[in-house]
């Protein structure tokens, strides 16, 4: 039953590392495989994680520009990475990603329950992703089988200028969901470009520290970790995410309800993001 009591009109979620795929392993592990398959070139999981949050073609380009990767590429091939090289790696990435993304579609912690709590308050559920549409077309039905069905979904290549940190994917959600005030929306993400996207769209922003790319923990590692390990991972993620100035930093989506309650109070008091 919907009660429509919240001043928040929509919450727009990222996908990997936010709602599904604890630790955001589906995209990062595939980047490592794609470089290996395309050019027999090795990148580390840490290097593959560094530009997370942007569209996948641009992600490959950004990995190639990391100084350590750039130096190894020049040493191995005697030249800088070209757009044609990126195209080849991206072509290797796409089938690998489509084959593996469904394996990482399980919701994070209380994601489905939190989403349904928001929906019960009359809040619309938007979503956008750095994944292109052909990957999302594989992920969406599997996530739906797990119980996650957002009201609207934007993929990175749905729009001409969709790339984060530009606000267009978030604003496409605003348009399609019939939102009348972007200041009454919340963007939830585990990456710096995703939080900047929310700021650029005029929304409240919530960054996730432990379920996403920056901590890089598997769910099993998260469950078994002692407090010292979690604090180390938390600070590692905070150091990267704080540059995007999120309004709130929380561990996982399970902690979102208390933040939503605070944002509701701030909106009711006349505050803007």
The three-state DSSP-derived secondary structure of the chain is CCCCCCCCCEEEECCECCCECCCCHHHHHHHHHHHHHHHCCCCCHHHHHCCECECHHHHHHHHHHCHHHHHHHHHHHCCCCCHHHHHHHHHHHHHHHHHHHHHHCCECCCHHHHHHHHHHCCCEEEEECCCCHHHHHHHHHHHHHHCCCCCEEECCCCCCCCCCCCCHHHHHHHHHHCCCCHHHEEEEECCHHHHHHHHHCCCEEEEECCCCCCCCCCHHHHHHCCHHHHHHHHHHHHHHHHHHCCCEEECCHHHHHHHHHHHHHHHHCCCCC
The pair of three-digit structure tokens given for residue 180, joined into one six-digit string? 């009348």
CATH class, range 26-102: mainly alpha
Q: Where does 10-24+105-267 sit in CATH, by number?
A: 3.40.50.1000
The pair of three-digit structure tokens given for residue 236, joined into one six-digit string? 């590692």
Convert the pLDDT of each residue in 62-90 to its tens digit: 999 999 999 999 999 999 999 999 999 99
The pair of three-digit structure tokens given for residue 69, joined into one six-digit string? 């990767």
Question: Which of 193, 213, 191, 164 is CA-nearest to residue 31?
Answer: 213
Rg (CA), the chain: 18
Active-site annotation holder among 14, 85, 251, 255? 14
The pLDDT profile of the chain, 273 residues, written as one tens digit per residue, is: 567 789 999 999 999 999 999 999 988 889 999 999 999 999 999 999 999 888 899 999 999 999 999 999 999 999 999 999 999 999 999 999 999 999 999 999 899 999 999 999 999 999 999 999 999 999 999 999 999 999 999 999 999 987 899 999 999 999 999 999 999 999 999 999 999 999 999 999 999 999 999 998 999 999 999 999 999 999 999 999 999 999 999 999 999 999 999 999 999 999 999
Q: What is the pLDDT of residue 53?
A: 86
Convert the pLDDT of each residue in 110-127 to its tens digit: 999 999 999 999 999 999
Does 255 participate in catalysis according to the annotation? Answer: no
Question: Which of 136, 179, 180 is CA-nearest to residue 154?
Answer: 136
Domain chopping of the chain, boundaries: 10-24+105-267, 26-102
Active-site annotation holder among 21, 40, 42, 56? 56
Question: Which of 245, 244, 241, 215 is CA-nearest to residue 230?
Answer: 215
Q: What is the pLDDT of residue 2?
A: 62
Parallel, antiparallel, or unpaired: how do β-strands 248-250 and 10-13 relate? unpaired
Parallel, antiparallel, or unpaired: how do β-strands 124-128 and 10-13 relate? parallel
Q: What is the pLDDT of residue 5?
A: 84
Q: What is the pLDDT of residue 161?
A: 86
Does 56 participate in catalysis according to the annotation? Answer: yes
User: Helix 83-100 vs helix 25-39: angle between axes, to the nearest 10 degrees?
Assistant: 130
């Amino acid at each position: 039953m919907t009660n429509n009591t919240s001043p928040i009109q929509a919450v727009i979620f990222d996908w990997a590392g936010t709602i599904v795929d604890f630790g955001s392993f589906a995209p990062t592990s595939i980047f490592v495989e794609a470089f290996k398959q395309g050019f027999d070139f090795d990148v580390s999981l840490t290097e593959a994680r560094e530009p997370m949050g942007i569209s996948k073609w641009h992600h490959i380009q950004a990995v190639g520009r990391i100084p350590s990767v750039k130096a190894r590429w020049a040493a191995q091939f005697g030249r800088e990475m070209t757009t044609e090289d990126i195209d080849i790696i991206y072509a290797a990435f796409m089938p690998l990603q489509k084959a593996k993304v469904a394996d990482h579609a399980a919701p994070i912690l209380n994601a489905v329950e939190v989403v349904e709590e928001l929906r019960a308050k009359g809040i619309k559920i938007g979503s956008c992703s750095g994944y292109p549409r052909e990957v999302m077309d594989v992920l969406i039905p599997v996530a739906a089988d797990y119980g996650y069905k957002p009201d609207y979904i934007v993929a990175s290549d749905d729009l001409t200028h969709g790339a984060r940190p530009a606000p267009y994917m978030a604003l496409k959600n605003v348009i399609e969901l019939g939102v009348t005030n972007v200041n009454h929306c919340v963007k939830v993400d585990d990456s710096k470009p995703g939080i900047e996207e929310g700021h650029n769209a005029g929304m409240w922003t919530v960054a996730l520290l432990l379920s996403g790319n920056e901590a890089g923990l598997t769910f099993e590692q998260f469950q078994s970790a002692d407090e010292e390990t979690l604090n180390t991972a938390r600070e590692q993620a905070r150091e990267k995410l704080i540059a995007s100035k999120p309004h709130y930093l929380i561990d996982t989506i399970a902690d979102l309800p208390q933040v939503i309650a605070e944002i509701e109070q701030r909106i009711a008091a006349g505050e803007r993001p």
